[in-house]
Amino acid sequence: MPKQDPKLLTEFGRRPAALRTQAGTQTELTRELGISQRMISCYEGHTEYSPAVLLPSLAELLGVTADELLSIAPLKKACQPDSRPLRRLEQIEKLDAGLLHLPQ
């Protein structure tokens, strides 16, 4: 097995990590991909390459092409700020609204 180039591992993990941060948590992604959170950490932490078989699913979940995921092509969509806090706030507001309609 060939040695893993640390520079390539760093580049490989950087873009998926940034895209995943925008899309959600590692836990959410692992649930969708059916792999462990430890493996996602290894891919993003620059210690392992993601298996090629995961690339199409990972790209789809992150809303990019495989070429964009691998930094072969530039991202068509600009990186947006993390939307998780806004999603959480919306969820809390829905829960709060539901509590107002509970019988006393």
| pTM of the predicted model as reported, rounded to 2 decimal places | 0.55
Q: What is the pLDDT at residue 1?
A: 46
Angle between helical axes of 6-23 and 37-44 (0-180°, round to 10): 120
Between 47 and 82, the higher pLDDT residue: 47
Checking if the pLDDT of 86 tops 70, the result is yes
Q: How many CB atoms lie within 10 A of CB 22?
A: 15
For residue 73 the two structure tokens come to 């092509």
Over the stretch 12-67, which tens digit does the pLDDT of each residue have? 677 788 888 887 788 888 888 888 888 888 777 766 777 788 888 888 888 888 88
Alpha-carbon distance of 44 to 24, in angstroms, equals 14
Fold of domain 6-100: 434 Repressor (Amino-terminal Domain) (1.10.260)
Q: Are 58 and 16 in contact (CB under 8 A)?
A: yes
